[in-house]
Amino acid sequence: MLKNIYRNKLAVKFKEAFELAYWKITKKRDKPFGNEHYEYFYTDYFQLKSEFYKGKKILDIGCGPRGSLEWAEEAEQRIGLDPLANAYMGLGASKHKMTYVSDYVENMPFDNEFFDVICSFNSLDHVGDLKESCKQIERVLKPGGLFLLIVDIHKYPTPTEPQQLPWDFIESYFPGFEVLDKKRLKSRGAGKIYSNLKRSDFKPEGEYGNGILTAKLQKRL
C-alpha cells in the first residue's frame, strides 16, 4: 500500500530519484535558479519580521536545493534537512551559507529542544511516517518555539506524496501545540503552491477536497 511506501526500499529510491530529477529540470528551466521568493513566506505571510529570526536556530524540513534560508543572515543557525541534501551540492547548494543536512525527518540527528523555529513548506505530505515525523518535530523544537507549516491536502496519495492528510490532522498530530493561525486555501494548478498562497483564495470550513493548509503553531511551555 502507498501509505507504507517507506517500508519498500525500492519505492524510496524511486521517490528520491523522481524528486531529484524534478529539481534538475527546474534548475535548467529557472534561470537564475533563485531563492528570493522564500523570505516572504517565512516572514510576512506568517506575520513575522525578518528581525524575529535574529539569534535563532532555524530548521527547514525538506528544504530543496535553492537556499531557502539564505535570507536569514542574522540567525544563529540556519539548517536545511533533506534526504537529497548531498545531491543538492551539485545543483549549486555548495555555494550557500546555510547548512544542509542529509537525513529523514523521522530520524533527525539533533538534540532535544534544539531549534527556535521549525518550518515545513510543501514537504510534510512527502514523508514516509507522518506520526513519527510529527513526534520528531515536537522533540527538537524548544518550548515556546514556532512550527510554520505549508502543506498540500490531496485526496489520493502518490509515490512522491504518500501522505493523504485530512484537513484536521494538526489537532490529532500536534496536541502539544497551540494553533496561533490557520488558513484553508483553494489550490489552482499543480505545482503552484506559492502562487496559490499569494492569491489567498480561502476554502470555507466544511468544504473538503484538494487544497492547501497553512498554520503557525507554538509548542506549549
Rounded Cα distance between 74 and 55, Å, is 6
Half-sphere exposure of 53 (CA within 13 A, CB side): 26
What whole-number percentage of the chain has pLDDT above 70?
A: 95
Helix (H, G, I), strand (E, B) or coil at 78: strand
pLDDT tens track for 85-142:
999 999 999 999 999 999 999 999 999 999 999 999 999 999 989 999 999 999 999 9
Predicted local confidence at residue 162, as pLDDT: 87
Tens digits of residue pLDDT in 187-203? 876 667 888 888 878 87
Structural domains in the chain, sorted by start: 2-219 (3.40.50.150)
Give residue 198's pLDDT: 83
Nearest to 59 by CA among 119, 101, 104: 119
Q: Where are the alpha helices (DSSP H) in 119-192?
A: 130-140, 169-173
How confident is the model at residue 4, as a pLDDT? 47
Q: State residue 209's pLDDT score.
A: 83
Instruction: State CA 22 to chain mean position distance.
Output: 17
pLDDT digits (tens, 9 = 90+) for 53-74: 999 999 999 999 999 999 999 9
